Amino acid sequence: SVSAESLNPATSINDNWTPPSHKKTSEQHDRLKKAVSGNFLFTHLDEDQSAQVLGALVEKPIPAKGIKVIQQGDVGDYFYIVESGSFDIFVNKSGKLEAGPDGIGEKVASCGPGNSFGELALMYNAPRAATVVSTESSMLWALDRVTFRRILMDSAFQRRRMYENFLEEVPLLSSLKPYERSKIADALETQKYPAGSVIIREGDPGEAFFILESGTAEVFKKGVDKPINFVEKGGYFGELALLNDKPRAASVVAKTEVKLASLGKDGFQRLLGPVESIMRRNDPSRAPPEEPKHVDPSAEL
Ligand code: 1OR
């Protein structure tokens, strides 16, 4: 009989599809688990999905420096996770890829163990957006396009899409490249707090950083009976304890129901480096800058 399921477009495209399963020694399996453990794209998979993705990944040794794993403009076939070694990423903005030795373009990023690359072409059915070259002998794990789209895209990449638009409106992140914001989107967790609940308690150790998606939160300090500050949509808090490795300097309480995007300490350190100076400059506990002194040149002696 025709089941309702076969009418569902998502399942009817390829009802018999099962992910490829590449046998691995227990040593390989352990290495692979370690390589993906630090990658945000894998943290939201359920047990079945995780087992399927791990089974489908294939080891790809890169024996030397200077090997092009991905060529800008090519059709996307695999998504890669770095187990060891390192890679430089180049973008040729002219699009004239065959034009002489400069065809590779300028270096825009590099990546190492736990990082991944090659997702854009698979996500958007677009040509490769960059060229990726090894800078030493390295080990990669490769995930085929179909498994990537069937399993990883449904979970992790919905989060990326959902947060990309919101993060564009966050003033703190406006100086970042869109691709840097996408990486942050991958690492965010959504949290909701009812009105009146304590999100951060003064004196606690800092584990996460927060960006406010909706609602209002207020900041309190012990010994002061009124809020000392407030946070609204697009604002952030929780950075000081992480930046300074100090206990929470104040409490933050939900005034209305609030929705937050939280970023763990690890992601904060890996992804917010480029805006660290902005956060330090905005530090609300910092002494206000001194009034510029008017120096009367004639009075100098
Ligand atoms: P892909 O499938 O297009 C190349 O293959 C990969 O390089 C790409 O996926 C990303 O995983 C990775 N712009 C485009 N691709 C980048 C970039 C990047 N960084 C890494 N990749 N940047 C923008 C440059 C204007 C660098 C942003 C820091």
**CB within 8 Å of 56: residues ≥ 6 apart:** 19, 20, 21, 22, 143, 144, 147
Same domain, 147 and 26: yes
CA distances from 201 to 13, 136, 222 (A): 50, 45, 10
Same domain, 36 and 141: yes
Same domain, 196 and 145: no
- Name the residue with the closest Cα to ligand 1, atom 7: 130
**Given the CA of residue 108, which atom of ligand 1 is nearest to it?**
26
pLDDT at 206: 96
In a domain, 201, yes or no: yes
**Given the CA of residue 123, which atom of ligand 1 is nearest to it?**
2
- Name the residue with the closest Cα to ligand 1, atom 27: 179
In a domain, 10, yes or no: no
What distance in Å separates the CA atoms of residue 247 and residue 252, rounded to the nearest whole number? 13
ipTM of the complex model? 0.89
**Given the CA of residue 127, which atom of ligand 1 is nearest to it?**
3
- Structure-token match 């449904």, residue found: 154
Of 62, 65, 56, nearest to 36 by C-alpha is: 56
In a domain, 59, yes or no: yes
Same domain, 33 and 119: yes
Chain centroid to CA 155: how far? Answer: 14
pLDDT at 43: 85
Percentage above 70 pLDDT, the chain: 87
The model's pTM is 0.82
Domain hosting residue 213, numbered range: 188-282
What are the contacts of 8-16 at 24+ separation with CB within 8 A?
Answer: none
Ligand 1 geometric centre to CA of 42 (Å): 19
For 37, phi then psi, to 5°, come to -65, -30
Ligand 1 pocket by Cβ (under 6 Å): 70, 76, 89, 91, 108-109, 117-121, 128-130, 132, 177, 179-180
pLDDT at 44: 84
Same domain, 227 and 278: yes
In a domain, 101, yes or no: yes
Beta bridge partners of 210: 237, 262
Same domain, 24 and 101: yes
pLDDT at 13: 58
In a domain, 271, yes or no: yes
pLDDT at 295: 57
| DSSP β-ladder status, 229-231 and 217-220 | antiparallel
Beta bridge partners of 106: 91
Same domain, 31 and 138: yes
- 79 contacts 128 by C-beta, under 8 angstroms: no
- 175 contacts 167 by C-beta, under 8 angstroms: no
- Name the residue with the closest Cα to ligand 1, atom 1: 118
Three-state DSSP state, 201: coil
CATH value at residue 104: 2.60.120.10
What distance in Å separates the CA atoms of residue 86 and residue 140, rounded to the nearest whole number? 10
**Given the CA of residue 111, which atom of ligand 1 is nearest to it?**
20
pLDDT at 296: 58
The amino acid occupying position 237 is F
Per-residue pLDDT of the chain (301 residues; tens, 9 = 90+): 444 444 444 545 557 889 999 999 999 999 999 999 888 888 888 899 999 999 999 999 999 999 999 999 999 999 999 999 999 999 998 866 665 555 899 999 999 999 999 999 999 999 999 999 999 999 999 999 999 999 988 777 788 888 999 999 999 999 999 999 999 999 999 999 999 999 999 999 999 999 999 999 999 999 999 999 999 999 999 999 999 999 999 999 999 999 999 999 999 999 999 999 999 999 887 766 666 656 555 554 4
| DSSP β-ladder status, 251-254 and 198-200 | antiparallel
Report the number of distinct structural domains present in the chain.
2
pLDDT at 192: 97
In a domain, 142, yes or no: yes
In a domain, 11, yes or no: no
pLDDT at 121: 96
Hey, how many other C-beta atoms are within 10 angstroms of the C-beta on 228? 13
- 198 contacts 253 by C-beta, under 8 angstroms: yes
Of 106, 116, 78, 79, nearest to 270 by C-alpha is: 116
